[in-house]
Amino acid sequence: LDRLEVYGAEGSFLCIRGTNGVLFPPSLTISNYSLHLDMPVEASGNWLVATGGNLTHSFGSNYRLNLTLNGDLTVAPGGLISAHRRGYASGGPGGSSASYEPGPSHGGRGKYRSPGFRDTYGSVLAPTNWGSEYTRRGGGAIGLDVKGTFTANGRIDANGDMTFPYNGNYGSGAGGSVWIQARTFAGTGPVEAAGGDGSVGPGGGGRISLIETEGSGVTNVVCDASGGYSDSATYAAPGT
C-alpha cells in the first residue's frame, strides 16, 4: 500500500493512542474526518488535511498533538488543525473554578471586572502548555515538526472556549499553544491561540511559535494570540 485516503461521514474520527509504534503510508489525506493523535507520532511522506478534515488531539488525559513529519504538510482551504477548547477543564496553572475570580491566564493575563489577575506561564519559544480554565475549557496544544514545507491555507486553532455574548457570570478559557517548525512556510493561515470571550472573566491569549529552518523567514502567516473580551468592555491581555 503506497497511498491511504481517509474518508468518513461527518463527525467520524480515528484515534491513535497507546505505546506501540504506528506505521503510516507515504501519502495521507484526511477529508471529512478527524484524526486524533494522542501520542507522539513520527511519519514519513506528505500529508494533506483536505476540506472537512481535522488533525487534532482528544480531550483530557494530558493529550497533545505532537507530530514529526519527514515530508510536507498541507492544510487546504476548509481543512483544520485543531486543539480548540481541548485544554484544562478545571483550573490549571493560570485558572480557577471558583466564582468571581479573574479570567484564566496563559501567555497573557486573564481579566476581571475588578482589579486582579493570575500569573502567566509556559515557554515563549517552545510552547507546549494547555490554556487554563475559568468555567470554560482552555485551548489545547499543537506541536508540529515538519521537515519539508508547511502550507497553511486552512485554519490552525488552539483557541480557548468562550461564553460571551451570553448573559450571566460565566468565564472563558485561555488560549493554548501552537509550536510549528518547518523547513519553509507557505500560505497565510490563520494560526490562532486566542483567549475566549467571557461575560465576567475573559481569557488571556495563548502562545504561538513559528520557526523556519531554511528560507527567508515566516512573513505571510496571520497569527492571533489576542486576549478575550467581556461585556463590561474589558479585554484580557494578548499572549505571545
Backbone angles phi, psi at 117, to 5 degrees: -160, 165
Compute CA distances 140 → 13, 158, 183, 234, whole Å.
18, 6, 24, 24
**pLDDT surpassing 90 at residue 12:** no
pLDDT surpasses 60 at 232: yes
Q: What is the mean pLDDT of the chain?
A: 89
For 57-134, where are the E strands, in sequence order? Answer: 65-70, 73-75, 80-82, 133-134
Higher pLDDT, 202 or 223: 223
* Sign of the Cα pseudo-torsion (210, 215, 216, 221, in order): negative
Lowest mean pLDDT among 38-47, 124-133, 166-175, 205-214: 166-175
pLDDT at residue number 21: 67
Per-residue pLDDT band at 167 (split at 50, 70, 90) = low
Lowest pLDDT segment from 5-19, 87-101, 176-190: 5-19
CA dihedral (213, 56, 200, 98) in degrees, to 10, reads -110
SS3 call for 79: coil
Total-model pTM = 0.92
Least confident range from 118-122, 124-128, 207-211: namely 118-122
